Amino acid sequence: MSRKRKALPILENVTITDIAAEGKSLARVEDMVIFVPFTVPGDIVDLQVRKKKHHYCEAEVIRFIEYSNKRQKPMCEHFGICGGCKWQNLPYEEQLKAKQQQVFDQLSRIGKVELPELRPILGSVKTSEYRNKLEFGFSNKRWLTKEEVASGTEFSDMNAVGFHITGAFDKIYPIEKCHLMDDLHNKIRNEIRDYALTNDLSFFDIRQQTGLLRDMMIRNSNTREWMLLLQFKLETLEDRQKAETLLQHIADRFPQITSLLYVDNHKGNDTFGDLPVEVFKGTDHIFEEMEGLRFKVGPKSFYQTNTEQAFHLYSVARELASLTGKELVYDLYTGTGTIANFVAGRAKKVIGIEYVPEAIEDAKVNSAVNRIENTLFFAGDMKDILTDDFIREHGQPDVIITDPPRAGMHTDVIQTILRANPQRIVYVSCNPATQARDLAALDMQYKVDIVQPVDMFPHTPHVENVVLLTRKQTT
């Protein structure tokens, strides 16, 4: 006989007091800490506890008693369901304060290293339509809102194009209008949806691994170029004909698309890094421009998704590197060589290392396009490439710039950096928590001189952070 689960409580007249991690807010009832989504400090609410642990619980609002004077009206009709821009109800100035505090808390609590006073966070130039890349999924099982479920309506059409819902990998929440990117992307996505529904194209079922339409990626650039990549699962000649007819329709409807691509994906997931990309029309890339430099961006390339703010981020990195033209610079996790090429004009030589071979090829092209001759790029796993032998062959770096993924740097990489003993390390991070962990490992030889938070993603809890480390003086 199974034990009856105790009903979780309703908490009444609770005041939200603080911003918490992952876009949630925080309240306290007696000794219990409560995390609540889609609220702001000053809201007074009734809460339904959904998950209870020993020292904290998670809850959702069932009634707003009083709205905070800090609250602002979200710009998006999908707010509260989509989950992508959880801070839309919080004024941007308050978002920046929370991100500044987040960086300080994580560096001090996790890193436990001596810190200077943090520089004020650099806010984003744009707070809407700031992204240059978005991805949308197709599904034959759309997410139903609470209101739709409660209505008891049976929906004959469950196809959807939109974003994945957290905790429901097989369901897609349909998006009508997203404010994160130029509005043309909404017109492209909705046109594909309407054409697919009108012409009875099948939407993907991730559980059954069936369906023609899987995923789409849309990119644009400050050179006014657009890229669209559609992922299909092509099992028959008829599937291919349907896909090509759709692609031709989109090409005719949107001449702004300069790079129209597709992938035939039979894998269990929508990653396509290991799959060939076919060009249906135009080129296999677009270009971004930054400070007079041109950067080739392909479908597999990493490029900062907030173009204007990327310039400010890289400018900070270059400033902190304090280059005089005499330095050998190692640019770790170089991607398409954006930072490497951006700083090359002020360095003697820049060596870039990156895991993705296609990105390295783009990095080489970017150097060639911009007539930069003092860069050298290598592809491979960082911990395998950056070794003592590599440094002996290519020279001891004066400056290391590192911009790792969210997981931070491998311990082998950190140890190699310590042995390389550069004068300065500029650490660009998209995750201050893992950055803090790595700073602790570097603390035996390096001190933190400058901390500069940079906001790349308004209305989200994510924040970039740039740290300058300098070699400690030996006595």
Same domain, 229 and 326: no
Q: What is the mean pLDDT of residues 156-167?
A: 87
Instruction: Look at the alpha carbons of 60, 66, 67, 68 in this order and tell me if their dihedral is positive or negative.
Output: negative
Mean pLDDT, residues 408-416: 95
- Residue 429, C-beta contacts closer than 8 angstroms, at least 6 positions apart: 403, 404, 408, 435, 464, 465, 466, 467
Burial class (CB in 10 A: 0-12, 13-18, 19+), 369: middle
Domain that holds residue 26: 10-71
Q: Assign 366 to helix, strand or coil.
A: helix
Distances, alpha carbon 446 to alpha carbons 213, 311, 317, 329, 335, in Å: 51, 27, 17, 17, 25
Question: Do residues 328 and 455 share a domain?
Answer: yes
- CATH number of the domain at 33, please: 2.40.50.140
Distance CA 141, CA 159 (A): 6
Domain count, the chain: 3
Q: Is residue 149 included in any domain, yes or no?
A: yes
Q: Distance between CA 324 and CA 69 in Å, rounded?
A: 50
| Residues belonging to the active site | 430
CATH number of 140's domain:
2.40.50.1070
Measured distance between the N- and C-terminal CA atoms of the chain, rounded to whole angstroms: 70
Determine how many CB atoms are found less than 10 A away from the CB of residue 112. Answer: 12
Degrees, nearest 5: CA angle 423-429-435: 75
Extract the tokens encoding 26: 């925080």
Model pLDDT, residue 1 = 43
Give the tens place of pLDDT for each residue, 228-263: 999 999 999 999 999 999 999 999 999 999 999 999
173 lies in the same domain as 153? yes
Three-state secondary-structure class, residue 197: helix
> Smallest Cα–Cα separation from 398: which of 346, 335, 467, 334?
346
Question: Which two three-digit tokens encode residue 205?
Answer: 């079922």
CA distance 285 to 293: 16
Is 76 within the bounds of a domain? no
User: Do 345 and 441 share a domain, yes or no?
Assistant: yes
87 assigned to some structural domain: no
**Listed residue (320, 300, 286) closest to 454, CA to CA:** 320
β-partners of residue 63 are: 46
Q: Residue 5: inside a domain, yes or no?
A: no
Regarding whether 351 and 365 lie in a shared domain, the answer is: yes
**301 in any annotated domain:** no
Same domain membership, residue 454 and residue 373: yes
Report the pLDDT averaged over residues 373-378. Answer: 97
Same domain, 179 and 261: yes
| Residue 462 placed within a domain | yes
Average pLDDT score, the chain: 93
By mean pLDDT, which of 170-174, 188-192, 239-243 is the weakest?
Answer: 170-174
pLDDT higher than 60, residue 2: no
Does residue 200 surpass a pLDDT of 70?
Answer: yes
Residues 311-324 have a mean pLDDT of 97
pLDDT tens sequence across 25-60: 999 998 889 999 999 999 999 999 999 888 899 999
Structure tokens at 252: 């005719």
Asked if residue 220 and residue 173 are part of one domain, the reply reads: yes
Q: CATH number of the domain that 371 lies in?
A: 3.40.50.150
**Res. 154: pLDDT tops 90:** no
In a domain, 82, yes or no: no
The answer on 28 and 113 residing in a single domain is no
**Is residue 443 located within the same domain as residue 315?**
yes
CA 13 to chain centroid, in Å, comes to 36
CB–CB of 351/401 below 8 Å?
no
pLDDT at 231: 98
The pLDDT, as a whole number, for residue 3 is 58
**Does the structure show a pLDDT above 80 at 388?**
yes
Match 């619980």 to its residue by tokens. 57
pLDDT digits (tens, 9 = 90+) for 92-148: 999 999 999 999 999 999 999 999 999 999 999 999 999 999 999 999 999 888 777
With cut-offs at 50, 70 and 90, classify the pLDDT of residue 149.
confident
Whether the predicted pLDDT of 209 surpasses 50: yes
Query: Using CA atoms, how far apart are residues 318 and 329, in angstroms rounded to an integer?
Result: 11
Which of 121-130, 151-160, 300-309: highest mean pLDDT? 121-130
Q: Using an 8 Å Cβ cutoff, are 266 and 233 in contact? A: yes
Same domain, 120 and 145: no
Higher pLDDT, 18 or 148: 18
In a domain? residue 423: yes
Q: Which residues contact 417 (CB under 8 A, 6 or more apart)?
A: 386, 400, 402, 409, 425, 442
Residue 223 has pLDDT above 60, yes or no: yes
Length of the chain: 475
For the cut 80, the answer to whether the pLDDT of residue 168 exceeds it is no
163-177, 342-356, 363-377, range with the lowest pLDDT = 163-177
Q: What is the pLDDT of residues 448-465, one digit of tens each?
A: 999 999 999 999 999 999
Is the domain of 39 the same as that of 102? no
